[in-house]
Structure 1
Amino acid sequence: MITATHAWSSLPRPLGMSDTTPAATALNHWNRSIQLAAASGSYGHCLRLYAGPLLAAGLRGDASTFPSLAKSCAALRLPGLGRAVHALAFLSGAAVSRDAFVRTSLVDMYAKCGRLPDAHRLFDETPCSSRTLVAWNCMISAYGRSSQVEEAVGVFNAMRRAEVRPSGSTVVGLLSGCADSVSARYPGVSVYGLTIKSGLDADLLVSNSVLTMLVRGGQLDSARLLFDRVENKSVVTWSAMASAYLQTGDWMEVFALFSSMRETEQPMDSVVLANLITAAMLFGNNLVAKGVHALAIKVGFDRQEDLAASLVNLYSKCGNLLAAREVFDSLQWKSVIMWTSMLNGYVECGYPDEALATFDAMLCAKVEPNKATVLAVLSAGANLGSANVAQKVEEHVKAMELQSDLQVCTRLIDMYCKCGSIQRARKIFDSVPNRDLAIWSAMINGHACNGEGSEAVVLFNEMQSKGVRPDAIVFTHILTACSHSGSVDEGLRCFHSMTAEHGIEPSVEHYMCMIDLLCKAGHLSSAIKFFGEMPVRLRNQVLAPLISAHRVNGADSSVEFMSEGLLNLGSQDSGHCVLISNMLSCLGQWKKARSYRTLISKQGLVKKPGWSYIELGG
């Protein structure tokens, strides 16, 4: 503090002050200036007023000085300077250091600066008679913000034993911690019951806090009941209820809430728009996306970068990259968040070339990429399938020192596997010490997709020996590997262990892998039997590979019923029609085969041509 005093002692005194001014009058003058600075949010100026001219004049301050100084230290998160203010308050005499408002402001300062032990120590040293309601609220809110719910409840109970009546701020501070902790929601509900009993539930801040707690706890019905009970809803109330429906994916209710909110002429904020954008993403309709965008322009939030980035994501989800690019280009200065949103848009819509070009433009604009940017670029490199591009992307990863990050390593492995560089992928995999399920899954899938089924099976068994439990995705990869290697027994064992040992219900992907495995191994009768044991709702999606396998292994009339069933189950895939036509041609039923070809044009279906991608000259 001595250093700070000397550093600020050269600041000029305000006009009208002189060395001949009596000390009491001078102190009152400085106090008014300090209090005005703190009240107006000029916290740095407030501290400079004190540490410069006031200390230079030999005036430490009184009980009216230190609350404003503590408030400024709290706002600027300066615990070291706050401790110096505490020391000066102590040196100013017992009347100042024991003043209830001074102590309360210091407790609040320590709490907001994250120094909870110091805050609690000072709070405990304060006599019970001097502990104001604000001081109790400071301690409860501090523990609540740090999710230390037990400590917050303990202070709350001590407050009740001291017969201090809680306020709405007390409940809000306590519930803030309960909302973020699953184990603390029961005491949170108990506290809310107490507020109803004491009449504090009429406080809108309390209702909003309870609503937030119920929403985060997934108690949608209870949240809706409370929401309907609140009469004068604020924008926070509406936003909290909207986020509850977004958690369940119910975008229609979000739009219905927004319509009701507009009828009450409630002003909008950026959170409301963010909820609308998320709901529009779930809907995936381009017209709705344009409507939300128009609303953002109307209320003047379209230039906020976080919302602009969300609009880019929204248009990308709807497949409208032109509109996404227009939003992107509309901002003169773009941060890494905006660049990454545009990159992800190109990747999700299947334009890896444009994604990599955008990444190059980002580097030319001297914008430093972050981890999310690198992950998007790795996905683009994987979709492009270029080994040359993959090496350049890895160079960026090394330059950013992200090569030890598990998520980045997983994407690197996936990228190299899709580029056919399985040896490079395996080298990265072997260099990772603490492998999680995702990285095991990526490497197993890499071996499977590159025709190395036996290596994938060995890796799958090694993963389980390390204590890593497989999930449904890993089982899809290992069944694909068994299909590539023709390991029928291993595939059947894995399929049965999926339900018997791991409790995973087979999906259509698992059934398709098994049908493919049995058909490729020539076990057509077993494949048909397996097909008959499948759930009826999934049969539609595995008929095509079953028919294709019969055609490859020699058509016979026993599969004609499957050809008919493929369309009877409501398929609208032109590929199925072509497959059935070819199948019937092999059976010699030329007229019927021609009718299926005609069906493609009658139903307005489009036959997608096959295509291949090769890299020439890097």
Structure 2
Amino acid sequence: MSESAPPPTDATLCEWNHLIQHTAASGSYSRCLRHYASLLAAGLRGGASTFPSLAKSCAALRLPRVGRAIHAHALLAGAASGVFVRTSLLDMYAKCARLPDARLLFDEMPRPTLVSWNCMVAAYGRIHEVEESVAVFNAMQRAGVRPSEGTLVGVLSGCVDSVSAGNIGLCVYGYSVKSGLDADLPVLNSVLTMLVRGSHLDVARSLFDTISNKSVVTWTALASGYLHIGDYMEVFDLFNLMRAVGQTVDSAVLVNLISAAVLFGNLLVAKGVHALVIKLGCESEEDIAASLINLYAKSEDLESAREIFDAVHMVNVVVWTSMISGYVEGGHLNEALMVFDNMRCAKIEPNEATVSSLLSACAKLGSAELGKKVERDAISIGLQSDPRVATGLINMHCKFGNIKLARKIFDGVRNRDLAVWSAMINGYACNGEGSEALVLFKEMKDKGVQPDAIVFTHVLTACNYSGLVNEGLECFRSMTVEYGVEPSVEHHMCMVDLLCKAGHFRSALKFIKQTPSQVQTKILAPIFSSYSTNCVDPSIELISEDILNLDPENSGHYVLMSNMLSSLGKWKKATSYRRQLRKQGLIKEPGWSFVQLSG
């Protein structure tokens, strides 16, 4: 306290306390902390009624260091022993992800209140430590404290994103039924969300139909489940039912509706949804504006997307990113980079989604210089280790042939997801380093990462480019037998190409005959091309008519057949295929490429 500070009076302290409590209650958390700083500067010290508001502000702003200082001030003021103050500090530590501090404070409480128990249960649930959350739940019952609906919601919150915790969540729901808490809407919403995230959509729908007092959260939870499986019609039906029963609509509901329209992929539907958003007066909300931009971009109407973007006054990073991604996906790469430049001029810091879209644009443009610029921006804001950004960087550097730099980025990612592994394996494959791709694929499996169809495509491509026939055959076998991945056209194409390049034409033909008929016509190009190049056994001509009859609209097969017959010296037949191609009005699409000159 300074010598010139006025002596503290009870009246002055009461005024400060009232001001601090009022600002915290109104949600002005930063202002609340500034008022406390002014109180200290005035030589005053907070009391028991001050610290709960300060702890609440620190929790909302996620300021654990400031919260620890508040805790110290409460101890010095002799107010930390009060149950209300202790519980507020406990809640602050829990919400700031300081679980050891929260648990220590909780264990020091002689008789924790129900609110204290609930804070601890929810703290573990928030970080998906379900077993610890259940342990606290059991301990509170042994202590004679009856759980409330808030307790159950705290446990269930940890079960939402954990497949292994699904049984625990169902047991908690069973307890809610037994204890009579199953009628509480927050509990039912938590159970519904858990079922939806656990892919038990039929059970979730049955529960949904039994809930009489549905809230907007109830409707949104079920709609998100249908979106996850791509059933956009159910989302539309749910929305119509909501309107019919008079349920209020919020931004989350509209975002789900817009996402369903994206899946539907019809411009007229997109405009209808947009008109509804305008009618409800929600078009200026940033999350809805971002969704509408994405909707129009996916509907190939970038002009409408740009109109929405330009009409939003307070544009956040999500809106900027939606516009950039729309241009990238629509092939307007220069426009995407121009929007990014404007974004930086507006002092908006990009996020991982922004950088990822830009890296994709640089890779498609083939511009290493622009890619390095985007990478510098990513490094300057500390996003280079983010899995999504790292995936984009790896893809870009591999496309430019900088495989060592790509591997350096890969090694710098701690929590590698499937996309990061897939990008690096594909990088090795496309740069002809098949053995390195296989080594990395084995390492990925050893780490417990489950491969998907895309990863298997990259591995088969690696075997193809490097001539690793036995490894490719084993990969194809394990994909279907061990991992249950249904082979796609790309997988079959890689195998046929691999066998043909190695000279195993008979094996390639046998492989083709074992594939489904609808796939056969789509995987013939490699074998045609190989026969044409190597001028080998003309037996391929015997199956040509059957092949062309299966896919009569494919001009490429006619051209390949003609080239193959020319290489065998059968000029007359080769000419007849060219004539047949022109007679049917089929046109071979020309290939194209481009290079960057002077930037």
- TM-score interval, smaller chain: 0.7 to 0.9
Q: 1:104 to 1:380 in 2, by over 3 A?
A: closer
Partner of 1:507: 488
Say if 2:239 is the partner of 1:239: no
Partner of 2:71: 83
Larger Rg: 1
Q: 1:51 to 1:256 in 2, by over 3 A?
A: same
User: Structure 2: how far apart are the matches of 1:614 and 1:549?
Assistant: 29
- Contact 1:79-1:115 at 8 Å conserved across structures: no
Q: CA deviation at 1:183?
A: 3.4
Q: 1:394 to 1:426 in 2, by over 3 A?
A: same
Matched residue type, 1:167: S
Q: How does 1:401-440 map to 2 (within 5 A)?
A: 408=389, 411-419=392-400, 422=401, 424-426=402-404, 428-429=406-407, 433=411
User: Structure 2: how far apart are the matches of 1:165 and 1:260?
Assistant: 38
Partner of 1:174: 155
Give the 3-state SS of the residue equivalent to 1:202 in structure 2. Answer: coil
User: Structure 1: how far apart are the matches of 2:81 and 2:381?
Assistant: 53
Q: How does 1:138-287 map to 2 (within 5 A)?
A: 138-287=119-268
User: Structure 1: how far apart are the matches of 2:475 and 2:263?
Assistant: 35
Partner of 1:525: 506
Give the 3-state SS of the residue equivalent to 2:295 in structure 1. Answer: helix
User: Structure 2: how far apart are the matches of 1:443 and 1:127?
Assistant: 55
User: Structure 2: how far apart are the matches of 1:551 and 1:195?
Assistant: 71
User: Structure 2: how far apart are the matches of 1:117 and 1:474?
Assistant: 40
CA-to-aligned-CA distance 1:503-553 (integer Å, 9 cap, x gap) = 355432232123234444554433322211223342131134434555554
Q: CA deviation at 1:228?
A: 0.7
User: Structure 1: how far apart are the matches of 2:58 and 2:373?
Assistant: 47
- Contact 1:178-1:213 at 8 Å conserved across structures: yes
Partner of 1:16: none
User: Structure 2: how far apart are the matches of 1:418 and 1:58?
Assistant: 64
From 339, 353, 362, give the equivalent of 2:334.
Answer: 353
User: Structure 2: how far apart are the matches of 1:303 and 1:412?
Assistant: 34
Q: CA deviation at 1:611?
A: 2.6
Q: CA deviation at 1:254?
A: 1.4
Moved more, 325-334 or 456-465: 456-465
Matched residue type, 1:507: S
User: Structure 2: how far apart are the matches of 1:55 and 1:404?
Assistant: 42
- Contact 2:226-2:232 at 8 Å conserved across structures: yes
Q: CA deviation at 1:213?
A: 1.6
CA-to-aligned-CA distance 1:380-416 (integer Å, 9 cap, x gap) = 2221224555555555566666667676565445335
Partner of 1:459: 436
- Contact 1:410-1:442 at 8 Å conserved across structures: yes
Matched residue type, 2:145: V
- Contact 1:412-1:425 at 8 Å conserved across structures: no
User: Structure 2: how far apart are the matches of 1:491 and 1:442?
Assistant: 22
- Contact 2:20-2:35 at 8 Å conserved across structures: yes
Matched residue type, 1:279: A
Moved more, 491-500 or 270-279: 491-500
Matched residue type, 2:482: G
Q: CA deviation at 1:48?
A: 7.1
User: Structure 2: how far apart are the matches of 1:573 and 1:138?
Assistant: 65
Q: CA deviation at 1:418?
A: 3.6
TM-score under structure 1 length normalisation: 0.79
Q: CA deviation at 1:242?
A: 0.8
User: Structure 1: how far apart are the matches of 2:20 and 2:419?
Assistant: 56
User: Structure 1: how far apart are the matches of 2:171 and 2:252?
Assistant: 29
- Contact 1:214-1:223 at 8 Å conserved across structures: yes
Q: CA deviation at 1:258?
A: 1.2
User: Structure 2: how far apart are the matches of 1:165 and 1:138?
Assistant: 14
- Contact 1:60-1:88 at 8 Å conserved across structures: no
Moved more, 586-595 or 140-149: 586-595
- Contact 1:547-1:562 at 8 Å conserved across structures: no
Q: 1:402 to 1:155 in 2, by over 3 A?
A: closer
- Contact 2:499-2:508 at 8 Å conserved across structures: yes
CA-to-aligned-CA distance 1:1-35 (integer Å, 9 cap, x gap) = x69xx99x679x9xxxxx7xxx6x88877776665
Moved more, 427-436 or 142-151: 427-436
From 518, 525, 538, give the equivalent of 2:519.
Answer: 538
Matched residue type, 1:503: E
User: Structure 2: how far apart are the matches of 1:396 and 1:32?
Assistant: 45
Identity %: 53
Moved more, 31-40 or 337-346: 31-40
Moved more, 247-256 or 560-569: 560-569
Q: 1:233 to 1:30 in 2, by over 3 A?
A: same
Partner of 1:568: 550
User: Structure 2: how far apart are the matches of 1:382 and 1:206?
Assistant: 47
- Contact 2:353-2:389 at 8 Å conserved across structures: no
CA-to-aligned-CA distance 1:284-332 (integer Å, 9 cap, x gap) = 2222222222222222322222322222222222222222222222224
Q: Mind listing any 5+ residue stretches in structure 2 that lack a counterpart?
A: none
Say if 2:305 is the partner of 1:320: no
- Contact 1:518-1:524 at 8 Å conserved across structures: yes
User: Structure 1: how far apart are the matches of 2:150 and 2:227?
Assistant: 28
Matched residue type, 2:590: P
User: Structure 1: how far apart are the matches of 2:472 and 2:182?
Assistant: 56
Q: Mind listing any 5+ residue stretches in structure 1 that lack a counterpart?
A: 14-18, 92-96
Q: CA deviation at 1:237?
A: 0.1
Partner of 1:94: none
Q: 1:563 to 1:143 in 2, by over 3 A?
A: same
From 532, 541, 551, give the equivalent of 1:559.
Answer: 541
Q: 1:580 to 1:141 in 2, by over 3 A?
A: same
Partner of 1:494: 472
TM-score under structure 2 length normalisation: 0.81
Q: 1:144 to 1:515 in 2, by over 3 A?
A: closer
Q: How does 1:65-104 map to 2 (within 5 A)?
A: 71=56, 74-75=59-60, 77=63, 78-84=66-72, 86-87=74-75, 90=78, 100-101=83-84, 103-104=86-87
Matched residue type, 2:436: L
Q: 1:243 to 1:52 in 2, by over 3 A?
A: same
- Contact 1:180-1:213 at 8 Å conserved across structures: yes
Q: CA deviation at 1:467?
A: 6.9
- Contact 2:128-2:158 at 8 Å conserved across structures: yes
Q: CA deviation at 1:196?
A: 1.0
